[in-house]
């Protein structure tokens, strides 16, 4: 059987309003209670002091020992002995601080680098009293300055005899390296090698140019020889050629015929008389002579070219060897000079340090300066009451809403269906 229910909106809104009032009242009461409880938590105030480390007045390169950086003092400021003394002096082990051990105070202190390039260090302290927080911050800054002065005094109190021994040791190194460098310069054969290298390079360039010329002439001779071989192997140029001459053109023959016939000789009667003969081709003889000359000239030029190739390889080997020798000489000379310059630089730095030992300059290597003293501030940094009250109120609203939601769901589950 289908059950129909009517929804009364007015009754529903009334129920929701009742539930909302209860949730709002519970949330408000809980928030006020959280606010009252937060007031029971002691307030904390922060104070910050800033110190700067001056750069070394002696410079970094000439100092035998490295300059201390701010990280060194950051570790020394948090020393347990220093914190224990501050706890006793400012009675931080009593209410409202209750900091019995150095670890407790260390949790209230923040030491950090503000700007590594500018060597700025921040010393931040958080305590229940603003004035005490500022004093403790300044006290820690002064402790850092005191530690810095102690370190500088220790640097100043270096034994003078030890420094002088170091100076003498460095001086011996300088003299030794100077002697090695000067001996190397005196025995250096670089000018001889350089002159020989220049001569070989000039000859090598001349031979290479002549070789290129010979290569071109040999190619030309080879082409000519091939042409001559082709010419003499064919029939285009015969050695013996047939000749024909007319008797009229030969005076000796005319005289012989006249004597044989006797009397006067009519030229018209013998004008058609020709004589045939063979003779050596003059062009053939000339070309043969040129060919014979080329066959003799080609091996001579080839032999000269082979000699130049061999000589060029020898010169290239000599040039490469001289270049390597000069390179090694330059490296040895530069190495000796580098050792000498380095020893001179180290000796100069140690000698200057020895000159400054026992003077007031030694205390000026580097120092810490308090450039910004911590002052009391009225602004509270702990606890964050607004956030705390907001969290308590939100949690109360959520719990009350879930409570009434579950209660209504449980009531709905208990409703039974009406009887038929």
- The two tokens of residue 106 are 């260390």
Architecture of the domain made up of 44-158+360-381: 2-Layer Sandwich (3.30)
**Global model pTM greater than 0.85:** no
Minimal CA–CA distance to 194: which of 327, 311, 312?
A: 327
Q: Please check whether residue 22 is in contact with residue 402, taking contact to mean a CB–CB distance below 8 angstroms.
A: no
Q: Residue 419 has what pLDDT?
A: 46
- The two tokens of residue 359 are 């003077």
Summarised one tens digit per residue, pLDDT across range 280-339 is 667 777 877 887 888 888 888 888 888 889 988 998 988 888 888 888 888 888 888 888
Dist CA 198 CA 323 (whole Å): 11
Burial of 252 (0-12, 13-18, 19+ CB in 10 A): exposed
Q: Please check whether residue 306 is in contact with residue 211, taking contact to mean a CB–CB distance below 8 angstroms.
A: no
Residue 255 contacts by C-beta under 8 Å, 6 or more apart in sequence? none
Q: What is the 3-state secondary structure (H, E, C) of the chain?
A: CCCCCCCCHHHHHHHHHHHHHHHHHHHHHHHHHHHHHHHCCCCEEEEEEEEEECCCCCCCCCCCCCCCCHHHHHHHHCCHHHHHHHHHHCCCCCCCCCCCCHHHHHCCEEEEEEECCCCEEEEEEEECCHHHHHHHHHHHHHHHHHHHHHHHHHHHCCCHHHHHHHHHHHHHHHHHHHHHHHHHHHCCCHHHHHHHHHHHHHHHHHHHHHHHHHHHHHHHHHHHHHHHHHHHHCCCCCCEEEEEEEHHHCHHHHHHHHHHHCCCCCHHHCCCCEEEEEEECHHHHHHHHHHHHHHHHHHHHHHHHHHHHHHHHHHHHHHHHHHHHHHHHHHHHHHHHHHHHHHHHHHHHHHHHHHHCCCHHHHHCCCEEEEECCCCCCCEEECCHHHHHHHHHHHHHHHHHHHHHHHHHHHHHHCCCCCC
Summarised one tens digit per residue, pLDDT across range 350-402 is 777 666 654 544 445 567 788 889 999 888 877 666 676 677 777 877 777 77
- Rounded to the nearest integer, the mean pLDDT of the chain is 76
Q: Residue 77 has what pLDDT?
A: 81
Q: Is the dihedral of CA 51, 56, 60, 64 positive or negative?
A: negative
Counting Cα atoms < 13 Å in the Cβ hemisphere of 67 gives 21
Summarised one tens digit per residue, pLDDT across range 248-285 is 666 666 666 666 666 566 666 666 666 666 666 677 77
pLDDT band per the 50, 70, 90 thresholds, residue 131: very high
Residue 242 contacts by C-beta under 8 Å, 6 or more apart in sequence? 276, 277, 278
- The two tokens of residue 406 are 């579950």
Phi, psi of 262 (to 5 degrees): 80, 155
Q: Residue 152 has what pLDDT?
A: 72
Q: Residue 146 has what pLDDT?
A: 85
- Per-domain boundaries in the chain: 44-158+360-381, 160-235+312-356
Q: Residue 124 has what pLDDT?
A: 93
pLDDT band per the 50, 70, 90 thresholds, residue 25: confident
Q: What is the 3-state secondary structure (H, E, C) of 128-154?
A: CCHHHHHHHHHHHHHHHHHHHHHHHHH
Q: Residue 382 forms beta bridges with which residues?
A: 44
Dist CA 233 CA 223 (whole Å): 15
Dist CA 49 CA 304 (whole Å): 92
Dist CA 113 CA 107 (whole Å): 17
Residue 65 has pLDDT above 50, yes or no: no
């Amino acid at each position: 059987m289908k059950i129909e229910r009517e929804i009364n909106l007015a009754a529903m809104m009334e129920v929701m309003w009742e539930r909302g009032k209860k949730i709002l009242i519970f949330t408000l009461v809980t928030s006020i209670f959280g606010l009252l409880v937060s007031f029971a938590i002691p307030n904390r105030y922060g104070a910050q002091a800033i110190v700067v480390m001056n750069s070394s007045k002696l410079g970094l390169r000439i100092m035998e020992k490295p300059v201390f950086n701010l990280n060194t003092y950051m570790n020394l400021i948090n020393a347990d002995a220093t914190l224990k003394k501050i706890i006793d002096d400012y009675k931080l082990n009593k209410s409202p601080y209750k900091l019995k051990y150095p670890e407790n105070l260390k949790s209230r202190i923040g030491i950090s680098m503000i700007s590594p390039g500018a060597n700025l260090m921040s010393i931040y302290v958080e305590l229940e009293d603003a004035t005490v927080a500022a004093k403790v911050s300044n006290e820690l800054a002064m402790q850092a300055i005191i530690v810095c002065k102690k370190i500088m005094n220790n640097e100043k109190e270096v034994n003078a005899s030890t420094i002088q021994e170091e100076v003498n040791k460095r001086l011996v190194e300088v003299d030794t390296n100077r002697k090695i460098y000067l001996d190397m310069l005196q025995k250096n054969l670089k000018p001889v090698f350089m002159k020989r290298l220049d001569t070989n390079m000039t000859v090598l360039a001349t031979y290479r140019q002549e070789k290129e010329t010979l290569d071109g002439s040999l190619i030309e001779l080879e082409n000519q020889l091939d042409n001559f071989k082709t010419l003499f192997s064919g029939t285009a140029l015969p050695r013996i050629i047939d000749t024909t001459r007319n008797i009229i053109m030969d005076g000796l023959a005319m005289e012989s015929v006249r004597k044989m016939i006797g009397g006067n000789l009519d030229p018209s009667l013998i004008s058609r008389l020709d004589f045939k003969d063979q003779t050596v081709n003059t062009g053939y003889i000339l070309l043969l002579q040129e060919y014979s000359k080329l066959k003799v000239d080609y091996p001579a030029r080839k032999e000269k070219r082979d000699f130049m190739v061999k000589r060029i390889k020898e010169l290239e080997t000599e040039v490469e060897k001289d270049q390597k020798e000069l390179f090694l000489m330059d490296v040895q000379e530069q190495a000796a000079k580098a050792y000498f310059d380095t020893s001179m630089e180290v000796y100069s730095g140690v000698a200057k340090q020895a000159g400054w030992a026992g003077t007031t300059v030694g205390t000026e290597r580097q120092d810490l300066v308090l450039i910004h003293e911590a002052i009391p501030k009225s602004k509270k940094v702990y606890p964050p009451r607004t956030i705390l009250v907001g969290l308590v109120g939100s949690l109360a609203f959520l719990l009350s809403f879930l409570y009434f939601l579950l209660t209504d769901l449980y009531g709905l589950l208990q409703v039974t269906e009406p009887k038929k």
